[in-house]
Amino acid sequence: GNSVTQMEGPVTLSEEAFLTINCTYTATGYPSLFWYVQYPGEGLQLLLKATKADDKGSNKGFEATYRKETTSFHLEKGSVQVSDSAVYFCALSDIQGAQKLVFGQGTRLTINP
Amino acid sequence: KAGVTQTPRYLIKTRGQQVTLSCSPISGHRSVSWYQQTPGQGLQFLFEYFSETQRNKGNFPGRFSGRQFSNSRSEMNVSTLELGDSALYLCASSFGRDNSPLHFGNGTRLTVT
């Protein structure tokens, strides 16, 4: 079945460092890909998405490119801030037109000042 | 615009009891999905309702059930609670169309003792 694999955390960086969180997927067909972020005590918020190969999703300085050839959707940010500390989830849509997402295990990110 | 509202925020139940969780979606959203989040299994899809009909279902036992009302509000019920049902239960709403982004509530934390 479909699955998502994320780099294991936790990840700890200093403020203004470059961030990469790796995400690869296994899927039949051509799923849409998402990054969600979860701040402490809150639900998930959609960070960015890409719906087809070579699409780049971007939001709040974060970017991810849908790479069909490597089945990857790595999250990057050029200069992280303390406020970016959260858990990040990579996900894919399981069935086109439905709302069933398959999530990776999540990567906890801590940014130190 | 109000977000997705889940009640209650916290619940403590005893093994063998049953529990009902409630979710009020964003106004205009017709799809409501439920997810279970645990440290061991991560985020797992339970089911999705669209216009009062279950449209998709995950791999959970029949003790987990749900329903959706005509105003799109949804409830989730777990009967004969087990210790392993302790989790954060997240509800998400969307317009329900292709690639409509999910908007998550802050969740209900269920503890089974």
Q: What is the mean pLDDT of residues A18-31?
A: 93
Q: Is the pLDDT of residue A10 over 60?
A: yes
Residues 51-110, chain B: which have Cβ within 8 Å of A? 55-56, 58, 90, 92, 94, 96-107
- Find the mean pLDDT for residues A84-99: 83
What residue type is assigned to position B98 of the chain? D
Residue B44: Cβ-neighbour burial (10 angstroms; 0-12, 13-18, 19+): middle
* Tens of pLDDT, residues B42-53: 999 999 999 999
Distance from CA of A80 to the nearest CA of B (A): 24
Taking contacts as CB-CB distances below 8 angstroms, the residues of chain A near B99 are 32, 49, 51, 93
Q: Is B45 on the interface with A (CB under 8 A)?
A: yes
Identify whether the C-beta of residue A74 lies closer than 8 Å to the C-beta of residue A57. no
- Position A96 pLDDT exceeds 60: no
pLDDT of residue B68: 98
Provide the chain A residues 43-82 that lie in CB contact (below 8 A) with chain B.
Answer: 43-46, 49, 51
What pLDDT band is residue A1 in, cutting at 50, 70 and 90?
Answer: confident
Q: Which residues of A touch B102 (CB under 8 A)?
A: 44, 46, 99, 101
Say how many CA atoms lie within 13 Å of B29 toward its Cβ. Answer: 29
Q: Least CB-CB distance to B31: which of A32, A96, A99?
A: A99
The mean pLDDT value of chain A amounts to 92
The mean per-residue pLDDT over the stretch B24-30 comes to 95
Kindly state the percentage of chain A with pLDDT values over 90: 79
Cα–Cα–Cα angle for B95, A83, A20, nearest 5°?
80
Report how far residue B79's alpha carbon sits from residue A35's, in angstroms, rounded to the nearest whole number. 33
Q: What is the pLDDT of residues B1-13, one digit of tens each?
A: 679 999 999 999 9
- What pLDDT shows up at residue A95? 66
Give the pLDDT of residue A30: 83
Q: Which of A58-62, A95-99, B70-74, B105-109 has the lowest mean pLDDT?
A: A95-99
Q: Which of A85-94, B81-90, B96-105 has the lowest mean pLDDT?
A: B96-105
pLDDT at A3: 93
Confidence of residue A8 (pLDDT cuts 50, 70, 90): confident
pLDDT at A98: 62
pLDDT of res. A28: 84
Element spanning B56, H or E: strand B53-57
Which tokens in the block code for residue B36?
């279970």
Model confidence band, residue A97 (pLDDT cutoffs 50, 70, 90): low
Q: CA-CA distance, A91 to A3, in Å (whole number)? A: 9
Higher pLDDT, B88 or A97: B88
- Which of A72-81, B30-39, B89-98 is predicted with the least confidence, judged by mean pLDDT? B89-98
